[in-house]
Amino acid sequence: MGHSIAVMITKGGVGKSTLIMALADTLSVYHGKRVLIIDSDTQASISSMLMDNDQLVAVQKSGRTIAEFLKETTVNGKQLDWHDFVVEGVSDVDDARTVSLIPCTSRLLLFEREIITGLYYSRLEPVINGLLRSAEQEYDFVFVDCPPTFSLLTEAWMRRCEFYLSPAKPDYLSLRGLEVLQQFKSMDSSKPFARNLGVLVNMKDPGSQIDIRLHNALRENSIYRCFAHAVPSHPYLRHAAIFDPGQRSYMAKYPGAVATALKEVAQELLGRIRNHALEPKAPPVRP
């Protein structure tokens, strides 16, 4: 039985999609984990990081994206097999052969509008719940790349995933984004909500005393369950986000200290899930 993780913070520019990609590569290469990434951000950033542009455009034109899957199943009431929307072996790391993707397209924005105007939200959560529970049977990890805003779709992912993970830069605006997320979570305690896997500090300058202080402050606040390890700010990670159609080794994509940090973070993530040192949560409500 795998685990579904919604990756979300109400603040853009924290390197969320790059972090998901790097974690997926690391879990695949060093832990042999089967990873499915669901791109639910209309910018489709992680889709472009994991696929050649021509291949991605072809998939988007063919309608094999999360937008079409959700529209057809929710708005049009069709029974579709989510496997038909999965692209296997998407990573450009030669040894990361167990990373798969359900890509996104900007048409997801139109779907979200239909959900609101057509009052289809009551259908949306059961569809998402069914997708996640089924995917958890086949993948060790299902990461959902959520946009940095609360929409009905993002709320559905947050309520139906097993866990949520919040990437944050060590800065004031990220702290505000974390506060907003906590406020939203407490708004309706009668509804299910993903368990807090923790805050993962990303883009940290190891030589900055400000970054170190903010990371320590997050760790000292038990609400956030901040990871002890962090991912550094480094040009290598910016380069890693550019898809290499020729493929490359893990160490070529994530050299030196970047690889060390990613392996530490992945190990800590596995430990948190294994130990379940998390807040209690009732089992997911099944339709």
Rg of the chain (C-alpha set): 18
Average confidence (pLDDT) per 10 residues, the chain, 287 residues: 94 93 99 98 96 97 97 95 98 97 95 86 94 98 94 95 96 89 85 94 95 95 95 95 95 97 98 71 43
Confidence at residue 284, expressed as pLDDT on a 0 to 100 scale: 43
Confidence at residue 275, expressed as pLDDT on a 0 to 100 scale: 83
Alpha carbon distance 7, 16 (integer Å): 7
Confidence at residue 283, expressed as pLDDT on a 0 to 100 scale: 44
**What's the pTM value of the predicted model, to 2 decimals?**
0.93
Confidence at residue 276, expressed as pLDDT on a 0 to 100 scale: 67
Alpha carbon distance 150, 142 (integer Å): 20
Alpha carbon distance 96, 250 (integer Å): 8
Cα distances from 106 to residues 68, 82, 132, 240, 279, in angstroms, run 11, 19, 22, 23, 35
Confidence at residue 101, expressed as pLDDT on a 0 to 100 scale: 99
Q: Which domains does the chain have, with CATH numbers?
A: 3-275 (3.40.50.300)
Alpha carbon distance 251, 258 (integer Å): 9
Confidence at residue 191, expressed as pLDDT on a 0 to 100 scale: 86
Which regions of the chain does DSSP assign to beta strands (E)? 3-7, 35-39, 99-102, 141-145, 163-168, 195-201
Alpha carbon distance 1, 88 (integer Å): 20
Confidence at residue 7, expressed as pLDDT on a 0 to 100 scale: 98
- pLDDT (tens digit per residue) in 177-199: 899 998 888 887 778 999 999 99
